[in-house]
Amino acid sequence: MDAADAEVTIEGPAQADIVKKDVQNGVLTIDYLPVIPGEYMVNVKSHGKHIHGSPFSARISGLTAVCVTESCEFLCAL
């Protein structure tokens, strides 16, 4: 999947800025930064279909960012 094929939407208490980055070897990194705490749903689709595990649930408290990759795992909570 490349950035052009990925559709990412985030539902939650506030709009979150989304950044898609092509890394290499078919790996796509998607970063988002919510501006207020709360429950967010991260929807990741490729060619109009949810990838495995999507939608992802994220509970944000304080100053937290969550990274999602094509492998459908949460990589980090900073």
| 73 lies in some domain | yes
Angstrom distance (rounded) from CA 31 to CA 39: 16
pLDDT, tens only, 25-71: 767 788 888 888 889 999 989 888 998 899 999 888 875 445 555 44
What CATH number does the domain containing 50 carry? 2.60.40.10
pTM for the predicted model, two decimal places: 0.66
| 13 lies in some domain | yes
pLDDT, tens only, 11-23: 999 888 888 877 6
Per-residue pLDDT at 2: 56
Number of domains into which the chain is organized? 1
**More confident call, 7 vs 64:** 7
Residue 45 belongs to domain spanning: 6-77
